[in-house]
Structure 1
């Protein structure tokens, strides 16, 4: 291979458009702005990248119907093989729950990691990920950037939260192993992220550089066990985090740029011999300190194998090539990463990879997949609080007010009540309900037999809405549709259900619990602290109530 071909293999890029050669004017303009050419095929021919990552909400819009995705994958693979003789790693962030790229429907609506953690069933996690992988594989996607291996020990974490399996390192390790096994059973590569652990931060690395203050002993006890479990399970890729961890590297550089973290800890101490890939290099945790050319060269020098989403690919590619030619990146260092990339492609069978659009249409969202995942999701619903046995509500049809700060959740909860014959008023309170909206909700609540309010995370206005409804009406059922921590902002609420997501299946199950159609079986995978004294616990890990008589 020429140096140019080798350097191309180090990049995992994004392309705009739903077809390799025929794209919309908007997609062509985006490709032209980024790469100087119009189509995904031309981008691949020019840069000969090692991989492509699909998106559905970055202006790229790669993901439509299953058959379309399969045709795009096949077209890109053909272009890559014709150009360089090498296949592509085609990847996507399909974690389930909050981070799901494939359109649903037709793709099966998967629960997120924390919902799976609430089932306390690694068998459920394995099956969920196996189904995810089967649908991805049918679309020609070869690698999933999942599972999240972060242990969410910080309730204020703005970027991980429900993307984590929980707060217990032992439990998260077991679920990570099950997820890796499931993805492999379904036929795609797995990625453990975000190394060395993004679970205890109150900063989002998309917008800044978080600082993890754990000691080395704490890292060994809390953050690293899930990654060790992933390595033991044969995980294919590990994604680095744009976080500063002084206990591992006192210089304070992001882990992605740290030789001590990437090579010293992950490669040498943990013994990982697969592909080390960066988190997106266009995130501020990386780009805030490192311009595209410096970021690419520094990450490779640290020991990373593949550079994901360099924000200026032409500049980053040229910088790496210049560093190789000048000797700043030794040929041996370049070749080591290229060999790992090619070894991955051989071991995953990518040289023979082909996608069948008709098969993709049959596999994605297959009835047996939807049925299995609905059952798994139903086992995650957690009844955190039920003072006085307020649930179930059994008195026949109701005038129901459904309100809250999560628009999809309000709509889906309302639809579930209506499907059961109830008269429903749905009031979308907005992300930060103001006094006028709260007053309207209180007025509606006074004439309702049942009030259901959805909350979706921190926010004083949401708590004000809940408190106002509690003062004005009874019964009030609060449904936490993201992380389960919301209850600590209004601990006087008599009823609190946690669904760990706002998907239709999860919310329909919550309505069924409210009405006594079935009992909840989930248990908290995290502890809920007292809001004004985090050293005290309001509800512990493993807490979960059952309905009376069930």
Structure 2
């Protein structure tokens, strides 16, 4: 049986606009003295007095709810598809998003593609409005902070027709803080138009481990100073657009070979190395005024030798992040459904320990009922104080106030098309992508290909799972783009683990064209992809490899005479690569990470900053 303090079932009449404004009147008011804004005595920031008044009127159950950011299935707050109703009932115990906010009074909701929240921009805006309406109908109802992971590149929750940009490592290859700021400003404006006010981006991890299975191209690179500059610029762009940016994953997830979704990574950096490497981008984010910081489900013994994950570590979150880095914004956990935070403690203990460590928002627990009741019980039994909850709720309400949610929680769903995916935004994404494509090898000046000497092209290669920014496998996107540029390009998808029969089919097809473009995806020594490339080179036809995820592929493709890196396989990056192949634009990207020799990782094959031009 779910415990609530309101007894509400979501059927209360929606408050009038006047009532809603009255409930939050003065929230953003300041006291002006000598032209400067000052907080009232005893309050830390302007508006705190009014926010504390809101908190003092909340029941304990309502306070607990404000701490949670939860998933929910469905494209509509009140009328999702039956399959989504079934999923909600099974996982959350409610049928709809409206019932979720009525029962648990959650302070936030996270959108996912797989939860069917993000069909198209207008639908997303209407879902956001429906969630806000359901929350504001409740007694003492407050707007919900709606969030998503819109990192761009490999991780995108909102797809076309929204504007999709190159991912972080591609931006790192472009080396332009202006481009990073533009990305944040445009993406932030589009997210805000759809009612999404918190983006779990940018990734502030310094990726120094080529084997990192969870960060990789989601990082801007391996140089901490370069990463820091791009993180700060993207934060400025997002927050200038009225969307809370989120630096993740503190204290730094860049040097691990374990995916925290499925295991419990251990970072072995010394405290001194952490200061010089991992901490640098987070310090830059704090200096840039970052609205929220996401924790990492990693063990970092040099920072806390207890064996606890950083998400549950008071020395890491309160001692270092708040104390040493001086951060006083919202701290949000990474998903509490991930194995990295569930290895040592049960799902009932994790949210309580996270709050004791210094967390403010508890993201996506596997069972909201278990987590919500665990926090409630911890307060009633004295393990947590209500004052500790108030501290986090104040930070959350400060953020909601700063984002304008308390004054205007709704968006114009009918007018979303005026902001999302408009031509100037799409053009900006294309131009940025052109500045990120990196030419690693070009022996004999094979590139650019000429329509006169190489009119017929075969595009073969991998078909990785498609992020939201794609219209199909890389082979199809590249072939279509090259055809538009005047070539006759045929696509043949060979997969990420081609069989001998598939390789033979590709080799036969290659003999009937003038050149081959092969899309590679995380190639390893002895793999089917490596065999495919070697056999294609053996045909004598010119072969251009395009590493569509990790730039490290070139280390195991020594026979390739020309190789580009795109850092992701979204349409915007692949179309830019096609323009580089065709010579419409020159390659301008530079490696943001080193590529080591495959046979001797201690030796660098291509250093940071490497990139050819023509």
User: TM-score normalised by the shorter chain: which range applies?
Assistant: over 0.9
CA distance in structure 1 between the aligned counterparts of 2:108 and 2:259, rounded to whole angstroms: 26
Superimposed CA distance per residue, residues 81-130 of structure 1 (whole angstroms, 9 cap, x where no aligned partner): 221321111101001111111121x1012110111111111001100111
Equivalent residues of 1:451, 1:473 under 8 A apart:
no
Q: Which residue is 2:120 aligned to? A: 65
CA distance in structure 1 between the aligned counterparts of 2:451 and 2:483, rounded to whole angstroms: 16
Q: Which residue is 2:427 aligned to? A: 371
CA distance in structure 2 between the aligned counterparts of 1:262 and 1:334, rounded to whole angstroms: 16
Superimposed CA distance per residue, residues 139-169 of structure 1 (whole angstroms, 9 cap, x where no aligned partner): 0111110000001111111111111111100
CA distance in structure 1 between the aligned counterparts of 2:425 and 2:581, rounded to whole angstroms: 26
CA distance in structure 2 between the aligned counterparts of 1:227 and 1:25, rounded to whole angstroms: 43
Superimposed CA distance per residue, residues 439-459 of structure 1 (whole angstroms, 9 cap, x where no aligned partner): 211222222210111011144
CA distance in structure 1 between the aligned counterparts of 2:558 and 2:379, rounded to whole angstroms: 59
Cα distance change of structure 1 residues 287 and 458 upon mapping to structure 2, 3 Å threshold: farther
Equivalent residues of 2:451, 2:487 under 8 A apart:
no
Superimposed CA distance per residue, residues 333-392 of structure 1 (whole angstroms, 9 cap, x where no aligned partner): 222112111222122221122211122122110111111111111111111110121112
Q: Which residue is 2:475 aligned to? A: 410
Q: Rg: which structure is higher?
A: 2
Match of 2:445 among 383, 389, 394: 389
Q: Which residue is 2:22 aligned to? A: none
CA distance in structure 2 between the aligned counterparts of 1:304 and 1:243, rounded to whole angstroms: 15
Gaps of 5+ in 2: 1-57, 465-472
CA distance in structure 1 between the aligned counterparts of 2:320 and 2:531, rounded to whole angstroms: 46
Matches within 5 A, 1:299-378: 299-352=354-407, 353-378=409-434
Equivalent residues of 2:253, 2:296 under 8 A apart:
yes
The alignment status of 1:130 with 2:185, answered yes or no, reads yes
Match of 1:154 among 190, 198, 209: 209
Matches within 5 A, 1:450-489: 450-459=515-524, 460-489=527-556
Equivalent residues of 1:151, 1:172 under 8 A apart:
yes
Q: Which residue is 1:539 aligned to? A: 606
CA distance in structure 2 between the aligned counterparts of 1:422 and 1:6, rounded to whole angstroms: 61
SS of match in other structure, 1:350: coil
Q: Which residue is 1:520 aligned to? A: 587
Equivalent residues of 1:93, 1:100 under 8 A apart:
yes
SS of match in other structure, 2:349: helix
CA distance in structure 1 between the aligned counterparts of 2:396 and 2:239, rounded to whole angstroms: 18
CA distance in structure 2 between the aligned counterparts of 1:470 and 1:495, rounded to whole angstroms: 11
Match of 1:108 among 143, 163, 175: 163
Equivalent residues of 1:445, 1:473 under 8 A apart:
no
Matches within 5 A, 1:8-27: 8-27=65-84
Superimposed CA distance per residue, residues 198-256 of structure 1 (whole angstroms, 9 cap, x where no aligned partner): 11111111111111111111110110100000000010110000111111111222111
CA distance in structure 2 between the aligned counterparts of 1:63 and 1:45, rounded to whole angstroms: 22
Q: Which residue is 1:230 aligned to? A: 285
Displacement of 1:497 in angstroms is 0.3
Equivalent residues of 2:148, 2:200 under 8 A apart:
yes
CA distance in structure 1 between the aligned counterparts of 2:151 and 2:129, rounded to whole angstroms: 23
Deviates more, 1:435-444 or 1:175-184: 435-444
The alignment status of 1:508 with 2:575, answered yes or no, reads yes
The normalised TM-score by structure 2 is 0.87
CA distance in structure 2 between the aligned counterparts of 1:88 and 1:374, rounded to whole angstroms: 34
Q: Which residue is 1:3 aligned to? A: 60
CA distance in structure 2 between the aligned counterparts of 1:429 and 1:190, rounded to whole angstroms: 38
Match of 1:420 among 474, 477, 485: 485
The alignment status of 1:44 with 2:101, answered yes or no, reads yes
SS of match in other structure, 2:245: strand
CA distance in structure 1 between the aligned counterparts of 2:537 and 2:344, rounded to whole angstroms: 47
Displacement of 1:395 in angstroms is 4.8
Matches within 5 A, 1:421-460: 421-459=486-524, 460=527
Superimposed CA distance per residue, residues 253-302 of structure 1 (whole angstroms, 9 cap, x where no aligned partner): 21111111111111111111001110001111112333221111111111
Q: Which residue is 1:202 aligned to? A: 257
Gaps of 5+ in 1: none
Equivalent residues of 1:381, 1:498 under 8 A apart:
yes
CA distance in structure 2 between the aligned counterparts of 1:341 and 1:28, rounded to whole angstroms: 29
SS of match in other structure, 1:189: coil
The alignment status of 1:163 with 2:218, answered yes or no, reads yes
Equivalent residues of 1:406, 1:455 under 8 A apart:
no
Q: Which residue is 2:467 aligned to? A: none
CA distance in structure 2 between the aligned counterparts of 1:316 and 1:504, rounded to whole angstroms: 39
CA distance in structure 2 between the aligned counterparts of 1:506 and 1:40, rounded to whole angstroms: 35
Q: Which residue is 1:180 aligned to? A: 235
Matches within 5 A, 1:249-328: 249-328=304-383
CA distance in structure 1 between the aligned counterparts of 2:447 and 2:518, rounded to whole angstroms: 15
